[in-house]
Amino acid sequence: MIIAIANQKGGVGKTTTAVNLAHGLVLRGKKVLLADFDPQGQCATILGLKPESGVFNLLVAELPPREVVRSTDRSNLYVILGDKRTATAQTVLIVQRSPISFTRHKLDPIAASDGYDYILLDTSPSVGELQEQALWASDRVLIPCATDYLATDGVFSIVSTLKKLESESTWPGKVLGVLPTFYDEVTRESKATFNDLSSRFGEWLLPPVHRATVLRECAVEGKTIFELDRHNRAAREYAHLVDIILAAG
């Protein structure tokens, strides 16, 4: 199953969710590939690795999978990293008028030959060809949404992109859910945004991930929440998200 993590806003917890979900699935016995489609290349940083041109090499240089997929210190967790050349890859895809299915067709053989249970795609906040290809490549889309300010428009814009992909390009996937992040029940904005999300996207709403300083520390230390502090509430919340995804099949 390919899952994209997307929201057309930055700083809402996409990369944090992608990395912790990937490691959480691995800890439950799954083989996972995490691909970083954001030119900022932050999946590398959170995993304690150096950004590299993995996505560019896969999509444009057409290097074979064994040269773009990296193992990590965690067994069964593999990555295709990104860096600023990911932005160049997008330009090339546009110039070449590559079909919307291009990225999916690059990922399918990797999934088949290496036996991944899940491929997670972290995406960039900017709208564009690469984001659309990553969304189209996905069976499910997970939409993190920060609740520390009224931020539902980012969710709307992803949902409308998905509707467009469905109607114009027969995207066969589904929304996995909307994940409220930076949740803090004592602040008024957080509660208001949560209620707003629940009234607009009730059927998709997942249990929230609270604001947690330790998640910021994870990025600094190059560790996942399960490595830095697995008893922390944030670890339990991400583990619960893993359960939900495993139960969804």
Give the residues lining the site for ligand ADP (CB under 6 A). Answer: 10-16, 42, 181-182, 209, 211-212, 215-216, 219
Give residue 190's Cα distance to chain centre: 22
Rounded-to-integer distance, Cα 14 and Cα 10, Å: 8
Q: Which is nearer to ligand ADP, 219 or 246 (CB)?
A: 219
Q: How many residues does the chain have?
A: 249
The DSSP letter of residue 99 is -
Q: Please work out the total of residues on this chain that contact Mg ion, with binding judged by CB under 5 A.
A: 2
Work out whether 15 is an interface residue with Mg ion (CB under 5 A): yes
Work out whether 142 is an interface residue with Mg ion (CB under 5 A): no
Partner interacting with residue 20 (select from Mg ion, ligand ADP, none; CB below 5-8 Å by kind): none
Work out whether 39 is an interface residue with Mg ion (CB under 5 A): no
- 198-208 burial, b at 16+ Cβ within 10 Å, e below that, comes to eeebeebbbeb
Q: Which is nearer to ligand ADP, 76 or 181 (CB)?
A: 181
Q: Are the C-beta atoms of 124 and 38 separated by less than 8 Å?
A: yes
Q: Kindly state the greatest CA–CA separation across the chain.
A: 51
Write down the least CB distance from residue 82 to Mg ion, Å: 10
Write down the least CB distance from residue 221 to ligand ADP, Å: 11
Which amino acid makes up residue 84? K
Write down the least CB distance from residue 42 to Mg ion, Å: 5
Q: Which is nearer to Mg ion, 15 or 190 (CB)?
A: 15
Write down the least CB distance from residue 178 to ligand ADP, Å: 14
Partner interacting with residue 133 (select from Mg ion, ligand ADP, none; CB below 5-8 Å by kind): none
Rounded-to-integer distance, Cα 239 and Cα 121, Å: 19
Helix%, strand%, coil% for the chain, nearest 5: 50, 15, 35
Select from 14, 23, 85, 223 the one that contacts Mg ion (CB under 5 A): 14
The 3-state DSSP class for residue 159 equals helix
